[in-house]
Structure 1
Amino acid sequence: MIHRVSKRKFSRDTNARKALLKNLANELILHERITTTQARAKSLRPFLEKLVTKSKNNTLSTRRLLISRLGLQNAVGKLLDVIGPIFKERPGGYTRIIKLPSRTGDNAEMAVIEFVENVSEIAAKKKLEKPTKEEKTKIEVKEKPKTKKIVQKKKEVKPKEKTKK
């Protein structure tokens, strides 16, 4: 019995293992679906689930935390602006792992890991629903009511007379 073993090592040292998870997470965020081995997919899932949970709260501190974990600013931007709002109401389970046939070269078990929701379709629908910046400004300009300014007449101030000493 092997006790207290919580993570897969992938025959790598700590820094290489962290870099592997970071790169897999970046690729999954940018491409929304990747093909990898089952062991890598299973260890990527909890790492990514924690990041998606953090991305639900779009603040500066969250952005800095995600940049420190992922490294790529465009992946962090997509995670905060697109993926986080989609999974806002979901309490967990943002990814799914689909098993594939074994790889021919080394007979490794392969899998596809992807987001449960189709992120690109939902983002495209939201873009269509939002009015453009020009339309927003036109609407705002039309909605402002016209008010008349009431100007009060200023009282004339007489200069003080000089006194002789």
Structure 2
Amino acid sequence: MSNSTAKSATPFGFEKGLKVEEVTCDIEEINFGIYVTSQPPKPHSSFSSYVLRIAPQSGLYWVKGISGDIETDSAGTMLKSRADNMIERLAKVYGPPERILFFNPGTIWGESEDFMMGMACNEIHYGASWSKEAHELPSGLGNIYFAINAKSSNTGYMIIEYEFDNHEQGEREVEEVEDGAL
């Protein structure tokens, strides 16, 4: 792994602290401080929509990429294969991740053919994460989270979330503005 701390993080071409008026692509506000786009400055073929969280003063503090639907079987074979490939690609950039494969205690979805239904019921979790405490992340990044989710027993999708190190400040700022409406 190269020393990734020498450069700043720009997932999908978005920089930490970017203000709404500085965003160079078309975005739509879907809730206060939450924006969506399908055309980021640096798109990735595995993801079709992107969500941005932007606070008025702190600017951009969180980016999420969401894939299109991925058809699979009830065991999630194709979905897990696509996820494992993406995790390998991310590991080349950010180093070996903390792998996530978690079954909620007492789940009834423990058999391999139940994988997709277990994920749809939020009882099975599959993915990987990188944190600045355990990894040499690029400057400005705090955490990266990658996961797969199920829409049905034979359809799923991938997500990746980039949390910048101004995340807590941005969340507080948005909460304060929203609390002013109460």
TM-score by length of 1: 0.28
Structure whose residues are more often helix by fraction: 1
Larger radius of gyration: 1
TM-score by length of 2: 0.26
Higher RCO structure, 1 or 2 (CA under 8 Å, sep 6+):
2
Structure whose residues are more often strand by fraction: 2
